[in-house]
Amino acid sequence: MGEDGRIDYVELPGGDMVATKRFYEQAFGWAFTDYGPDYAAFDEGLDGGFNGHAADRAPMPLVILYADDLEAMADKVRAAGGEIIRGPYDFPGGRRFHFRDPSGNEMGVWSET
C-alpha cells in the first residue's frame, strides 16, 4: 500500500504494446504484467505501466500519487487551486482521478478503494 500524498506510480504513453514491451524487455530486462491488450505494468524500482489505450492515455508521462481517501484528496486538490480534469473513475486495481496543477502539469491520484 502506498503512502498518502506520495508519488506511487508513473504511467507512460504506449502505442504498439508488443513493440514497446519487447524493447524494454530486450534493452533492460524488464518484466511486465498485462492488464488486457492495451496496458502493461512494470515494477522496476518504481512501479509503473505503459497505457496503449489511445482514448485513455495521457500524451506524456503521468506521475500518479497515492491517496488513502480519494474523495478527500480531490477536495484538497481543489482547495489548493488544482483543477480536476478527469474522474474519479474506476480502473483495474482501484479508483483514480487526474488533475492539473496551477502550472498546467497533469498528474493523477489513485486509491485502492
Which pLDDT score, from 0 to 100, does residue 3 have? 87
Taking a C-beta distance cutoff of 8 angstroms, is the pair 38, 57 a contact?
Answer: no
pLDDT tens per residue across span 54-106: 777 667 888 999 999 999 999 999 999 899 999 899 988 899 999 988 878 88
Average of per-residue pLDDT values in the chain:
89
CB atoms within 10 A of CB 74: 18
Phi, psi angles (nearest 5°) of residue 8: -125, -20
Taking a C-beta distance cutoff of 8 angstroms, is the pair 51, 14 a contact?
Answer: yes
Q: Which CATH class is domain 7-111?
A: alpha beta
